[in-house]
Amino acid sequence: MSTKHQTLGEFIIENQSSFRYTSGELSRLLNSLRLAAKVVNHEVNKAGLVDILGAAGDVNIQGENQQKLDVYANEIFIQTLTKRNIVCGIASEEEDDFISINSQDEKHQNKYVVLIDPLDGSSNIDVNVSVGTIFSIYRRVTPVGTPVTMEDFLQKGSEQVAAGYIVYGTSTMLVYTTGHGVNGFTLNPAIGSFYLSHPNMTFPESGTIYSVNEGNYLDFPLGIKKYIKYCQEEAEDRPYTSRYIGSLVSDFHRNMIKGGIYMYPKGSRNPDGKLRLLYECNPMAFLAEQAGGKSSDGYTRTLDVQPTSLHQRVPFICGSKKMVEKAEQFMREFGE
């Protein structure tokens, strides 16, 4: 049985038999993500001391200005996963297209693809606010031994075999699921190991925190506007507390521990939503459901959405189950 003070490596080995596939490849993949997280954490923590703050001068596929740490984190995760010969493909929020990986020795024999947001919330870097990494893992659907195709990446979120995030904050934590609950590990910087600190993480069924960028209020659908007013004026234990960091990882992490709801709805400026389905919404939705929470676009379960493009955006409502259900009720009643 898993106990506190257990390292992430020990936890992965002990629970390997509960993975859907037990070849050991997924375990090595999770360990590689752990290694890359430690390297990125080192750079994040010394960002004010070296020339790694500010814009890199490039624009990514999303049309967003890349920060220097965006570029660095992207390179570290791609290099770590590529050199260790454990994945057959990688898709990153920072890359235009997916990357097909061929081992000279094994000829596309690896079975997993990784989708990653290397540095979520990077606009917060220069002001020393928590940022994070989000990852999502799927088993390929095209034949082993052939190059990966877009089909391997455009899978529904319900097909994920693992997902998680790393939050670089007052302490650095790696939180992940393989479909058997959610567990959190805190990095001990003195010895460089992640230790199980938050076993069996769960969302409170309800809460009193709502996380939304209220600067976009006039742009929100009527259902979301009505739900916000409900949080402020009508809900039990009202008024709810508004808490919005601007880093999905940080907002999600806080809400999972304390109970709350995160919302990034569509609007006239973002008619399809703002967050990316494959890199942000699906992994967080998988974590939320494994922790007893819920996620949808206001009508449809996030994990049931069929992706149509690598950088597809969708509306996103996620958090404590009763709070999400209440928001969905307002969306059904008042709509757009």
Q: What is the CATH number of the domain that holds 108?
A: 3.30.540.10
Annotation: binding site for substrate: 120-123, 213, 244, 274
Category of 33 on φ-ψ map: left (φ > 0), alpha (ψ -120 to 50) or beta: alpha
Residue 2 belongs to some domain of the structure: no
Residue 1 belongs to some domain of the structure: no
What are the structure tokens assigned to 136, written together?
A: 């999502």
Residue 97 belongs to some domain of the structure: yes
Distances (CA, A) of 221 to 162, 180, 218, 280: 32, 35, 8, 21
Last residue of a domain, one of 170, 198, 226: 198
Is residue 302 within 8 Å of residue 296, measured between CB atoms? yes
Same domain for 123 and 219, yes or no, is no
Same domain for 230 and 307, yes or no, is yes
The contacts of residue 248 (CB under 8 Å, 6+ apart) are: 120, 121, 132, 134, 262, 275, 280, 284
- Count CA atoms within 13 Å of residue 5 on its CB side: 0
What are the structure tokens assigned to 123, written together?
A: 């606009």
Same domain for 182 and 261, yes or no, is no
Query: Each residue's pLDDT tens digit in the chain (336 positions)?
Result: 456 679 999 998 888 777 666 567 888 899 999 999 999 988 877 655 444 444 544 555 555 556 678 888 999 999 999 888 889 999 999 999 999 987 555 566 889 999 999 999 877 777 778 899 999 999 999 998 889 999 999 999 999 999 999 999 889 999 999 999 999 999 998 899 999 999 999 999 999 999 999 999 999 999 999 999 999 999 888 899 999 999 999 999 999 999 999 999 998 888 999 999 999 999 999 999 999 999 999 999 999 999 999 999 999 999 999 999 999 999 999 988
User: Containing domain of residue 292, as a range?
Assistant: 209-334
Task: Give CA–CA dist 189/198, Å, rounded.
Answer: 17
Residue 61 belongs to some domain of the structure: yes
Same domain for 191 and 233, yes or no, is no
Distances (CA, A) of 20 to 160, 208, 217: 11, 36, 43
Looking at residue 97, the DSSP 8-state letter turns out to be S
Annotation: binding site for Mg(2+): 93, 117, 119-120, 280
Same domain for 59 and 33, yes or no, is yes
Annotation: binding site: 93, 117, 119-123, 213, 244, 274, 280
Axis-axis angle for helices 25-45, 68-83 (nearest 10): 150
At 305, which CATH number?
Answer: 3.40.190.80
Same domain for 84 and 153, yes or no, is yes
Same domain for 126 and 182, yes or no, is yes
Task: Give CA–CA dist 335/251, Å, rounded.
Answer: 25
Is residue 305 within 8 Å of residue 314, measured between CB atoms? yes
Residue 204 belongs to some domain of the structure: no
Residue 33 belongs to some domain of the structure: yes
Hey, which bits of the chain come out as E strands?
A: 55-59, 65-67, 89-92, 99-100, 112-120, 131-139, 162-168, 172-177, 183-188, 193-198, 209-211, 241-242, 260-264, 275-276, 294-296, 313-314, 316-319
Give the pairing of strands 131-139 and 112-120.
antiparallel
